Amino acid sequence: MKITGFTGWLVETEPGPKFIWRDGLPGSHGDIPRGTKPRKAVIRMETDSGLVGAIEMGRGDAVIDLVRRRYNWFIGENPLLTERIWNLMWEIDRIEEVHMRSLGMLDMLCWDVKSQQAKMPIYQLLGGHDRVVPAYASTVTWPTMDEYERYIKMSRDLGFTAFKLHAWGDVKRDIALSTNLRKWVGPDADLMFDGSAGWDYVQALEFGKAIQDLGFLWYEEPMREFYLGAYAKLCDKLDIPVLAAETSDGVHWNMASWIEGKALDMTRVSTFYKGGFTGAMKIAHMSESFGMRAQVHGMGLENAQLCAAISNNDYYEQLIMNEEQIKGLDKLGPLSIVGGNLTVTDEPGLGYHYDWDALDKAALTKIEVTERLA
């Protein structure tokens, strides 16, 4: 099988619900200029077998530009050789500095085709562990304690038994919130806290000591992920597992440095920050060899397959935003949460289906790449 070309469409999409993150971070609509809509890229990979891979990505303008300038290099390559394709893309990253969210896009297009060719779901091709994955309710940041209580209890009543806080970024208030969370959901629920890299070492240590006494499962990304020494000191001082290396570049090579430096207790994997399925699996297996869990970060069709593929991940992450969205979580098709669980689809492929003619009509930009350049 050979790759024969790529087609890309830049299209406008509807913005999702408005929400905020911790103090200091832009909210969910912070990158949408007034009077405009978000833009996404839809990318199709064509092969001489007639099978096509399809995916959609945010940062649409940049994604279209990357495909236009660099994906010609893969014309004629066999998409079933995913390890080869991944390493060729890693070589391009050396000169391109591909955005983390785009590095694994080609890999996932290839796994889409590979899955269709094998007539098997991606998670089974990756190894396969369990298609029924418990989900945790991952909050956005609400302005008041009352809102946290309302939406967390609403999620609890729908069957969630695990909850993660994105909070305000104020140590004292966040300790009070974490203490209340344990009261709201009881002693048996798994709890997590995501600091969204908002603190320095002193703040991170103070907060970590507080929540470890509440029996939290993990303490996630309390500081920016640059100086591993600070993370190593934090891990040494705390009993609660520190989950880190979420946004650091370099895939498994970078993760090896974190593990070697004893700067985390659990690793973060995702298809969008860690180089697609191939990169994420490299991290998951390396983590397992060190006796570490590799917790899957984020939602979506791709990460659902990853969750079902590996044994050392605990949960699928599901954001909860407002009442309407929470009450509609059981109506999300292949990503529906029912009774606190996600049942990953057994259908081959990634699961993106498009009306190509409609995309032609709606596109702000369309590109076609059909020839490999010297």
- Domain range annotation of the chain: 3-120+350-369, 124-343
pLDDT at residue 374 in the model: 73
Q: Note the pLDDT tens digit of each residue in 180-209.
A: 999 999 999 999 999 999 999 999 999 999
Question: Strand 132-139 vs strand 341-343: parallel, antiparallel, or unpaired?
Answer: antiparallel
Contact 5, 46 (CB under 8 A): yes
| Residue 31 CB coordination number (10 Å) | 11
Determine the 3-state secondary structure of 18 from DSSP.
coil
Contact 283, 255 (CB under 8 A): yes
- Return the CATH architecture of domain 124-343: Alpha-Beta Barrel (3.20)
Q: What is the CATH number of domain 3-120+350-369?
A: 3.30.390.10
pLDDT at residue 362 in the model: 96
Contact 267, 293 (CB under 8 A): yes
Rg of the Cα atoms in the chain:
21
Contact 342, 308 (CB under 8 A): no
pLDDT at residue 137 in the model: 98
- Residues of the chain scoring pLDDT < 70: none
Closest of 363, 320, 321 to residue 340, by C-alpha:
320
pLDDT at residue 332 in the model: 98
pLDDT at residue 49 in the model: 98
